[in-house]
Each structure stands twice: as structure tokens, then as C-alpha cells.
Amino acid sequence: MKEFELKYGCNPNQKPAKIFMRDGSELPITVLNGRPGFINLLDAFNSWQLVKELKEATGLPSAASFKHVSPAGAAVGLPLSGTDKKIYFVETEKELSPIACAYIRARGADRLCSYGDWAALSDTCDADTAEYLKAEVSDGIIAPDYTPEALEILKTKKKGNYNVVKIDSAYVPALQEYKDVFGVTFEQGHNNFKIDETLLENIVTKNKELTKQAKIDLIVSLITLKYTQSNSVCYVKDGQAIGVGAGQQSRIHCTRLAGSKADNWYLRQSPKVLSLQFVDSIKRPERDNAIDVYISDEYEDVLAEGTWQKIFKVKPEVFTAEEKKAWIATQSGVTVGSDAFFPFGDNIERARKSGVQYVAEPGGSIRDDNVIETADKYNMVLAFTGMRLFHH
């Protein structure tokens, strides 16, 4: 297939639309089901690059959950704990495949933002992954292959219209890439920069003890940032992005946004949230929305008389601000990466509140000394990577 006609571009009025190879060669994808759109395929190609690089860097099966050309979450395929299964609504007791665990964890980073996502897998999609996806609201998936059973399961989604795309894992893009904006063509070299542990060698803080898990987490963070709309900051724990702040004009707003998402991820593991008793008829999206509101400052919206009865079997107690702050304070071992330098120590101050102990950023600010000093104040480990990772 040398070109694929699209229904329309970013918006319904943007016609005609298609994808094709400038050199006239075959497209590196095969559409196995559905009819993906313009934004679907932007998500597909960006997310595939992320999971492919993450697998190469860690050796672990990797997955991503994309929305509007940025990851809502990304993760490697480590086993799910009992708590993980509860907060990600895994309804089976059997041990799941590593690639299924990777996707469940990627989607679990921010289930609200992953609603209607595009899924990406570094490895063959199996039945475990397909069964989990079947129960979630998702627009499509890209993977290097699918087992026959998985493909049949996925073809039942969205009344048979679920988008299933197979990517040629051996495909290598051209060295130069082009983008048209306002009738003007931009050209640049494809970003082939390799992210691995060597980026973490320049530790500039007094504490230089970077654990093996922290190295993996920082690599997850940096590769995630490489395919996140800038400015961006990413919090990671145990091989899973737990908070991604994308597309903000201010670095501190990225750090706050990603930090608040990381806090929400952790709050979902609190006893108060785990003990919520939902009515039997509630659907997953409504359950996710209810949890998000319950742990927010707008909790009264789900606890009001006449409303809570539609959501919960038993009216929950208010999760007070003091209780939430105390629970978040128990979080530790979190890593954070930034796609460009932190201009002030305030980013470190905010990250600390979400349990961050390890940081990777390019360095190069005229206030690097202030950033290092702030990290030293909290005995953090800070590595300067020397490489900016902007993505637009």
C-alpha cells in the first residue's frame, strides 16, 4: 500500500487527506481493521517510536497510551501487584503476559486522559492485552503483530470498527523529515538521538547513589518526553509514567501539572479510595470520573444527596485535604525528567512534594547552581543529561 486515503484531516473541513511516502515506496503499516483517521495515525506513529525505543533501551516489553499526539502514560512490562489490579480494574486472578501488564500500567497512569486513547505495543498483541482493551474505551492500536485470537477479540470492538494497525518493525525512517505549516515546508533531521544509561552519568549533586530501578525509571521518563508535546515533564515510578505534563508554556506549570497527576495516581491507592463501593451497574468511564472528582476539591459533586446514590452503594466519607496531604507525603522513590532545563529551584521544590528523589534534566540554565542547591537540600540525585528533548 503506497498511500492511504483518510476521511479528513485534523478537522472535518480539512479535505482531501491522505498519508503516503514521499519517495513512492510502500507504507510501513497495514490496516487490519477499521479506518484510522489523521490524528489516529499521528498518535500511532509517535507512540510506536516511543515503545520501540523503550523496549530497545530497557529490554522489557513496553506500551503507551496516547491522546492528541502526547502520551497519557507509558510503561514497561513489570508484573502487576494486588493494588495495581484494584486501581486498574483488572478483573482476572490469572498472571497476565508482560505486554498486557505494560499496557495496563501505561493506561493506568491517567485513566481519565486515556479515555478514547490510541494504544501502542512494542511486542505482539496477545489475547491478554486484547481482552483488557476490549473492556476499555479506545480508538485504536498499533503493534508489530497480533495473535489470531487477539485480532478476533479486537475486531469485536466498536461494532467491528476498532482501528487495528500493524507496523513493520524493521522500518527505518528517512534521515530528513518535512512538515508543511501555512504553505511553508520545514526540513530537519529525524531525531535519532539514543537515550540510555550513559545520559545519567553526569550527576551534579552530593548524593550520587542512583539505583538500578531509578535508572530504568529515568530512561522511561526521558523516552516518554522525547515524544511528548513540549514543554513537558514526566514523573515515573517502578517503570511506569505516573504523571505527564505536556504542552505548557511555563516549565513550572509542566512540573505542577505532572505532579498533580502523579499525586492523583497515588491517591487512588489510598485506603479511602480502594474501599469505595460502586453500584453494580456503573461503567468504567463513570467510575473513573467519580474517583477523579472524589479525590479533587470538587468532591461535593459526587457526594451530594441524590447524586451519590447513582454512583455508590454506601455514601463515602469526605477525603479531607489534610488526609490527602498526609497520604501523598508517604510517597517516595519517584523519578522526574524534564525535556529542557529547570530554570529555577521551584521545580525541584514542587517535585519533592510528590515523592521525587531522582531527577534528570539537560542542565544549562544560568541558575543551575540554584537548582543543584535545592536538590542537595533534599538529598536528591540530579543528573544533567546535556540533551534537550523538544517535540512539536
Q: 499526539: which residue's cell?
A: 69
Using H for helix, E for strand and C for coil, what is the string for 93-160? CCCCCHHHHHHHHHHHCCCCCCCCEEEEECCCECHHHHHHHHCCCEEEEEECCECHHHHHHHCCHHHH
pLDDT tens by residue, 180-192: 999 999 999 999 9
pLDDT value, residue 91: 87
Average pLDDT over residues 225-230: 97
Cell numbers for 267: 491517591
> What is the length of the chain?
392
CB-count burial class (<10 Å; 0-12, 13-18, 19+) for 5 = exposed
Average pLDDT over residues 57-80: 97
pLDDT value, residue 181: 94
Check if the beta carbon of residue 110 is closer than 8 Å to that of residue 73. Answer: yes
Q: Identify the active-site residue in 40, 46, 52, 67.
A: 67
pLDDT value, residue 93: 85
- Is 377 catalytic? The answer is no
**Amino acid making up residue 205:** T
pLDDT value, residue 324: 98
Average pLDDT over residues 28-33: 98
pLDDT value, residue 1: 86
pLDDT tens by residue, 88-123: 999 888 899 999 999 999 999 999 999 999 999 999
pTM value?
A: 0.96
pLDDT bracket for residue 299 (50, 70, 90): very high
pLDDT tens by residue, 256-292: 999 999 999 999 999 999 999 999 999 999 999 999 9
CB-count burial class (<10 Å; 0-12, 13-18, 19+) for 29 = buried
**Amino acid making up residue 44:** A
Q: Strand 184-189 to strand 176-181: parallel, antiparallel, or no bridges (unpaired)?
A: antiparallel
Q: 550527576: which residue's cell?
A: 203
CB-count burial class (<10 Å; 0-12, 13-18, 19+) for 381 = buried
- Is 67 catalytic? The answer is yes
Statement: residue 171 has pLDDT above 90? yes
Count the Cβ atoms, other than its own, within 10 Å of residue 243: 26
Statement: residue 221 has pLDDT above 90? yes
- Average predicted confidence (pLDDT) for the chain: 96
Cell numbers for 233: 515533564
> Omega before 271 cis (within 30°)?
no
Nearest to 251 by CA among 334, 343, 386, 382: 343
Check if the beta carbon of residue 227 is closer than 8 Å to that of residue 46. Answer: yes
Check if the beta carbon of residue 338 is closer than 8 Å to that of residue 254. Answer: yes
**Amino acid making up residue 100:** A
- Is 190 catalytic? The answer is no
Q: 495495581: which residue's cell?
A: 84
Q: What whole-number percentage of the chain has pLDDT above 90?
A: 98
**Amino acid making up residue 351:** A
Cell numbers for 273: 479510595
Using H for helix, E for strand and C for coil, what is the string for 197-242? HHHHCCECCCCCCCCHHHHHHHHHHHHHHHCCCCCEEEEEECCEEE
**How far is Cα 229 from Cα 159, in angstroms, rounded to an integer?**
32
CB-count burial class (<10 Å; 0-12, 13-18, 19+) for 291 = buried
- Is 163 catalytic? The answer is no
> Omega before 379 cis (within 30°)?
no
pLDDT value, residue 385: 98
Q: Identify the active-site residue in 40, 46, 163, 231.
A: 231
DSSP structure class, residue 14: S
Average pLDDT over residues 116-137: 97
